[in-house]
Amino acid sequence: MTSKTNAEKAKGQNLPVMEVKKTEATKATDPQQITVEELQKRVDELTAKLKAVPTDLNSRIEYFNEKKELIRKLTRLQASAENLQTHLDTLAEIAAKNEFETEDFVLSIEGGNKYNRKQVFALQNPILIGEVLTYLLAKVEAKADELKKLIEA
């Protein structure tokens, strides 16, 4: 059994001859082309993340509740960071006036128990208060970054 090519069939019927040109596949020279190794690495990362998610229902509920708690903590930290930044801006305006002490801001440390608190230390210098708040803001942002990594894991 022999089959005729399209060209042979078209000869006898006065049909136009269609020929398929063979071309070689060439590699794209696009620098953003993703390599097989990169794809395999990405597959391995996603597989590891998938394995980290528990399979039974109770474990999954506990896993996602932990994630939810981490997200809640992150939200509170971000709100605290925004609040600190607002106060830092105000302190910078006061510090620009070269005031040594201010009545607008007081950083105080209290000691004692729940019902009997006494002020142990008070600071009213806006520059020093600003430095303390800058330090606190850096610590809050570091903790927020740590929580983001835990949430993504």
Domain range for 67 is 35-152
Its pTM surpasses 0.85? no
Asked whether residue 128 is domain-assigned, the answer is yes
Q: Tell me whether residue 3 is in a domain.
A: no
Q: What is the pLDDT of residues 99-118, one digit of tens each?
A: 777 777 888 888 888 888 88
Q: Say how many C-beta atoms besides its own lie within 10 A of residue 28's C-beta.
A: 8
Q: Pick from 130, 135, 132, 147: which is nearest to 76 by CA? A: 147
According to DSSP H, which parts of the chain are helical? 6-13, 36-52, 57-96, 126-152
Q: What is the mean pLDDT of residues 134-139?
A: 92
- Is 11 inside any structural domain? no
Per-residue pLDDT, averaged over 86-106, amounts to 82
Determine, yes or no, domain membership for 143. yes
pLDDT digits (tens, 9 = 90+) for 1-49: 455 555 555 555 555 555 555 555 555 445 467 788 888 888 888 888 7
In a domain, 8, yes or no: no
Evaluate whether residue 50 is within a structural domain. yes
In a domain, 125, yes or no: yes
Return the pLDDT at 71. Answer: 93
Give the Cα separation of 108 and 120 in Å (integer): 7
pLDDT in tens, 50-72: 777 777 778 888 888 998 999 99
- Token pair 């894991």 is found at 153
Residue-level pLDDT at 75 = 94
Cβ atoms of 147 and 74 closer than 8 Å:
yes
* Calpha distance 106→1 (Å, rounded): 100
Contacts of 86 (CB under 8 A, 6+ apart): none
Residue 22, domain member (yes or no): no
Number of structural domains (the chain) is 1
Owner of token pair 């942002």:
141
